[in-house]
Amino acid sequence: MYQFVKKIGNGAFGEVYLGVDQENNEEVAIKVESFGCKDPMLRNEAKIYSAMSGSIGFPSMKWIGEGSHYEAMVIDLLGKSLEHYISLRGRFSLKTVLMLADQMLVRLEQLHSKGFIHRDIKPGNFLFGSGKKSNILHLIDFGLSYQYLRRRKRSRSSSFIKKINSNLRPHETSEDDCINDKNKFDYYERMKREEEENYQHIAYQEGEPLIGTACFSSITTHLGIRQSRRDDLESLGYLLISFLTGTLPWLGISSHSRSLKNSIMAEKKICTPLNSLCSGLPIEFVKYLNYVRSLRFKDRPDYSYLRKLFRDLLFRVGYTYDYVYDWS
């Protein structure tokens, strides 16, 4: 049994409480969603936590069930979010951003390898762990997440997802952690081919509403195109730039109409050259956004290439991947 202690979070899709496992006095997080809420998302989120069970950088789901007038889900209690740290500091150093970028790319590859996209990449959805996991960045909040990849009914090949997971690294502590050019041997093309043979990608579709946080949304999301893996990665690019610069050119746009505000924001994203958006930043950030913007709807991103961009930069400028962040 779990006991509520106090509210620690409040969002558009429910409330989060600090709780205690009465059997072992372990502190937990309890996410609550009222019966009859307009857009129930807890069960969708629980499905993804279940799929990610055992994966590094994702909290474990301990229980899901019903109370007197609500549904509740119990997960690991985590530490502070990147939203907390950026609100205190305004911006992060290059070293901190590069270490964060590496872990965030791993989290997205892990999630995507299970067949899901996040659709709401923002600072508040990345939290550090607690205790022995305090240096590990966790991805949370899957209420808006969506399954983009489903197994073909008559596939007789071995599981693509299992092969992807077997190649994911459990730690991000070494320069050798990335698949390098010498041992890559067509890894990307092999995974792409197995995905196409064994799995069915959702269909391209237009006229979709904007789902997620507008300031970090991709251009194609603004244009009403259904989201896929590329959109999570483009959102991550804007997030990283905002961490380094403390702002984005489209932040601060105001309008009484949300749709008009989003339209102005989309136009600003389209019209801002990447060299201008990344002015004063290492060229790797331009390369990153050029790559993710070039992806087609069903393309499998080359996560190793993207990680290598930032890891090579980290070591080239003389930093150590030591998990010592600006606030450490």
Query: What sign for the dihedral angle of Cα 277, 278, 280, 286?
Result: negative
- Two structure tokens written together for 151: 């197994």
User: Residue 220, exposed/middle/buried by CB under 10 A (0-12, 13-18, 19+)?
Assistant: buried
- Helix (H) or strand (E) segment spanning residue 7: strand 2-11
Any bridge partners for residue 70, and if so which?
A: 34
What phi, psi does 101 have (nearest 5°)?
-55, -40
Orientation of helix 229-245 relative to helix 82-89, angle to 10°: 30
In one letter, which amino acid is 310?
F
- Tell me the two tokens of residue 199: 């799995």
Q: How far apart are CA 290 and CA 139, in angstroms?
A: 24
How long a stretch of residues is the chain?
A: 328
Residues contributing to the annotated binding site for ATP = 31
Q: How far apart are CA 210 and CA 203, in angstroms?
A: 17
Provide the CA 187 distance to its chain's centre, in angstroms. Answer: 23
Q: Contact, 243 vs 126, CB < 8 A?
A: no
Q: Is 120 a catalytic residue?
A: yes
The owner of tokens 């709780």 is: 19
* Local structure of 21: helix, strand or coil: strand
* 73 within 8 A of 274, measured Cβ to Cβ: no
Question: d(Cα 231, Cα 19) in Å, to the nearest integer?
Answer: 34
Q: Yes or no: say if 265 and 251 are a contact pair by the CB < 8 Å rule.
A: no
Catalytically annotated residue among 120, 141, 231, 232? 120
Known catalytic residues are: 120
